[in-house]
Amino acid sequence: MNKPMIKNLIICALAVTCAVLTVRLWFGNFLIHGLFPGEPVVAASPAHLRMSQTMIESAKMTVNFDGDTAEIVHSGLAAHEAWQIGARAISELINEGEHDRSGTLDAVAKAEIFAGDYIATQYSFAMPTSFFREQFGQRPGFLSSVFGDFETLLITPRHGYVGFYFISEQSDMFHAFTLNSWHVYSEFLDYFAHGPGLLWAHDFEIRSESPIGEQLLHANVREFVLFFFPNPAVASEGVTINGVYTYMDNARVVKFYPNNMVEYNALAAVQPQGTVSLASSLLAALDMLAADRVSMLTNGTGMPMNDTFLVGYSEGPAEGQWNFYFDYYLSGKFIDIYDIGTLNHAVEIRVINNSVVQYRRLMLNFYIYEVD
């Protein structure tokens, strides 16, 4: 092989390497669990732990104190004292607690469970005990040997011990556990003696504003939708069809609707390959959402996008398909978007074979104003 040919091969190899590195720098971890198929996530891996933490912190907490209740929607949920006390208690339960009994969730059981002061965490979906245990403790099988999943966990200080009730509305069952720990019990008593009063806040009014502006022009919309293209230069300039701005290349189409909704669809068909795990599919959705959030922080007005929390997921109807639903929250307050747009949730993501095939999001910034 002559020297010019060797030189050309080296130049080609360097060019390909630079292209790959450029894409990876631009999209970060996007190639692993984003627009393109990724590998299944191994349990206890950093990615799997991030996924399970997202599921656990996507919740609503209710604090009941002396008959009064206050709700905390996931907005820096882990920073709340109620969450921190509960997390420490759960860790000790998994490592040192005991299963008390299981039973039907009837009126008698509810009267017992919801009596007295308590901190309850409620999920909008069935929480697998395996994800839960990985976040809070190391005793394998302690929870999963008793039940598979649950929607609500209620923790309450009783007479010298702490009671835990894992509640499953789907199976109409409860599973009671006990923890005999004086310092955890004392923490709950101290919290209910002084903490809950800090949760009752003033009334708020929520207002919304489009980051695009009232006048929808291709020039304004373009910088928000071209984020979805690995190489924005190859995307078309966009066309307007029935008031919908549309951009596409040979792999994807992105639309921006007059009702402030952006929609991404993959054009290439993703072939189902049997069972795909919830973990890897959720990571694909989270990576897409995280990358979009970064783009919104760096483009347009530069104002922060509303934070999101996972409110549910479903499987199918296609084989290997998972669907994820997220809502917005702001300063601990849930934002109801049902009368704003056509979406049922602020963000809806469809994943097939660990690849995002559809992504829909309401593009509005929300602001909270305190009402006197």
CATH (domain of 277): 3.30.310.160
Q: Say what the pLDDT of residue 283 is.
A: 84
The per-residue pLDDT of the chain, averaged, comes to 76
In a domain, 283, yes or no: yes
In a domain, 290, yes or no: yes
**Above pLDDT 70, what percent of the chain?**
70
Confidence class for position 271, pLDDT limits 50, 70, 90:
low
Q: Say what the pLDDT of residue 304 is.
A: 57
Q: Say what the pLDDT of residue 22 is.
A: 33
pLDDT per position as a tens digit, 288-329: 888 887 666 655 455 556 778 888 888 888 888 999 998 887
Confidence class for position 87, pLDDT limits 50, 70, 90:
confident
Asked whether residue 184 carries a pLDDT value surpassing 70, the answer given is yes
Into how many domains does the chain fold?
2
Task: Looking at the structure, tell me whether residues 194 and 215 fall in a common domain.
Answer: no
In a domain, 256, yes or no: yes
- Rounded Cα distance between 277 and 112, Å, is 37
Task: Looking at the structure, tell me whether residues 244 and 146 fall in a common domain.
Answer: no
Task: Looking at the structure, tell me whether residues 241 and 363 fall in a common domain.
Answer: yes
Mean pLDDT value across residues 200-224: 70
Task: Looking at the structure, tell me whether residues 182 and 270 fall in a common domain.
Answer: no
Mean pLDDT value across residues 3-30: 43
Confidence class for position 275, pLDDT limits 50, 70, 90:
low
Domain boundary among the residues 137, 166, 200 is at: 200
Strongest mean pLDDT among 24-38, 55-69, 113-127, 165-179 = 165-179
Mean pLDDT value across residues 171-179: 93
Q: Say what the pLDDT of residue 41 is.
A: 43
Task: Looking at the structure, tell me whether residues 320 and 221 fall in a common domain.
Answer: yes
Domain ranges, residue 119: 58-200
**Angle (deg, nearest 10), helices 182-194 and 81-96:** 160
DSSP letter at 82 equals H
Task: Looking at the structure, tell me whether residues 228 and 356 fall in a common domain.
Answer: yes
Q: Say what the pLDDT of residue 175 is.
A: 95
Q: Say what the pLDDT of residue 198 is.
A: 47
Task: Looking at the structure, tell me whether residues 149 and 231 fall in a common domain.
Answer: no
Distances (CA, A) of 295 to 131, 144, 291, 343: 30, 40, 6, 21
Strongest mean pLDDT among 66-75, 155-164, 214-223 = 155-164
Task: Looking at the structure, tell me whether residues 263 and 360 fall in a common domain.
Answer: yes
Confidence class for position 52, pLDDT limits 50, 70, 90:
low
- Rounded Cα distance between 362 and 359, Å, is 10
Q: Say what the pLDDT of residue 28 is.
A: 33
pTM of the model: 0.67
Task: Looking at the structure, tell me whether residues 211 and 341 fall in a common domain.
Answer: yes
Domain boundary among the residues 147, 168, 200 is at: 200
Higher pLDDT, 11 or 155: 155
List, in sequence order, every residue forming a beta bridge with 22; answer none if it has no partner. none
Asked whether residue 73 carries a pLDDT value surpassing 70, the answer given is no
Task: Looking at the structure, tell me whether residues 140 and 214 fall in a common domain.
Answer: no
Task: Looking at the structure, tell me whether residues 132 and 228 fall in a common domain.
Answer: no
Domain boundary among the residues 179, 200, 221 is at: 200
Asked whether residue 195 carries a pLDDT value surpassing 90, the answer given is no
Q: Say what the pLDDT of residue 219 is.
A: 76
Higher pLDDT, 334 or 298: 334
Q: Say what the pLDDT of residue 176 is.
A: 95
